Structure 1
């Protein structure tokens, strides 16, 4: 298949993936895209763009498979994408040592994002420990490579915010299953870091940034409540509800989560369970 044809079918598969009624068609198209790029990178000198497109196709196909409920296949596709994105980042790093350089920032951001999304696929496939491991590794790669996220490039900052959000959610889930206090504490810390990054990214002209911050508030508030910090949980819920009110119908699902947490806060306050605070810690 010629390069132009590969690009055209890639874009068509991406478009179909945004339309639930066409997800089955998109599934077939992504399989064709992946095979086309596999052939393009097989043997001889590998073109970096073809390799990147193959990784992106595998990642996007994995996300579609997750939406279709085919979680095992989604995890397989996601793992292969992570391997390729790792190779790509290593190659780009050899050419651009500075992590904030645009191409390096893009490569690192895509690697972290692929690891995060693969972790979610693994969780849905019944492997919560794999999700936690991938999230921990994603955060470690980001911190080791680019340092504290506020000083990283824009693509890396965005990916790290999602990684911290998902890590908080994963730790909170394990806390709810097993009751470990340390999980609630670490979930609170991760939620705080995700909130910090998403506050810095907040842009009234980009509604998605409001949605992402509101979503993080909902997880952060639950983590605070799990540690017994009722006062701060109430404050975060209030901020979240104010924010999601601006989104109207788009913020309804998050608003419902926040209001459910508000009910739990009222219950905790009524039983005298508020006021406890955990020491502020940073890794």
Structure 2
């Protein structure tokens, strides 16, 4: 199969993955795409780096599709192979690529690890999820340094990494045995996600506004858990302003902000009641 034919097959599988009704077809096509790119990179001659990159991308996308179809264990194995190749591509880019090439390679690696973490959670492996989230953050910091000095795509990926890390810590806080420690760590990760996404937000890119509103909702919940109630109220207000700008497209961030508002109202009521103790009843909702 020639390079153009492989590319057309890849794009067809990608399109089918975008619609639930064609997921079965996408599953079949990704298997063909992966086989085609495996053959392309298995020869004894010079391997085109783009073929290796496309193989990694196909494995990554197939892994996510398998998880979405209720087969996360299979998706975990496929996603792990993708991450291994992305790591090799990132190492090569760090040595030889332009600044833009290094930025793209690192951002793709971070994103693939983040998606693998969510697949692990769907497969019933929350500890692995946390390990992978930590690994994604570490990869960005080790390769590019603190986010302000990283390239634009890496900063975007790191914003997602910190957001997802805060989400996982928040979940562990509400279900684990050391809620106070996890709440503090979640608030710190959410704060870092906010800082990055504030710098990246652009009214001409609605997705960046959506992501900022979504992270504000998460951060407000974390701040409420550590009883930084005044700051939680400020963040809640900022998030609600963005949701108003988004309109119907802001439904998901709006839900997260409503949860935060409920938590904040209960904490304030508890404080007025003079009990001095956190009420955890909302954990059941």
The Cα shift of 1:127 comes to: 0.5
Q: In the alignment, which residue of structure 1 is the partner of 2:49?
A: 48
Q: For each residue in 1:164-218, what CA deviation from the matched residue of structure 2 results, as whole angstroms up to 9, or x when unmatched? A: 0000001111111114222111111110010111111111111111111111111
1:114-153 correspondence to structure 2 within 5 Å: 114-153=112-151
Q: Cα distance, 1:257 vs. partner?
A: 2.0
Aligned pairs (5 A) from 1:52-201: 52-96=53-97, 101-180=99-178, 181-201=180-200
Does the CA contact (< 8 Å) of 2:120 and 2:129 recur in 1? Answer: yes
Superposed displacement of residue 46, structure 1: 2.2
The 2-side partners of 1:250 and 1:73 are apart by: 32
Asked whether 1:10 is paired with 2:10, we answer: yes
Unaligned runs of 5+ in 1: 277-283
Per-residue CA distance 1:31-85 (angstroms, 9 max, x = gap): 1111110111113132211000000111111122222222111111111110000
Partner of 2:283: none
Match of 2:22 in 1: 22
Does structure 1 conserve the Cα–Cα contact (< 8 Å) formed by 2:120 and 2:128? yes
Question: Which structure 2 segments of 5+ residues have no match?
Answer: 279-285
How far apart are the structure 2 equivalents of 1:68 and 1:205? 34
- Which residue of structure 2 aligns with residue 272 of structure 1? 271
Spell out, residue by residue over 1:215-252, the C-alpha distance to the aligned partner (whole angstroms, 9 max, x if none): 11111111111111111112111111111121112111
How many residues end up aligned between the 2 structures? 272
Q: Give the aligned CA root-mean-square deviation in angstroms.
A: 1.6
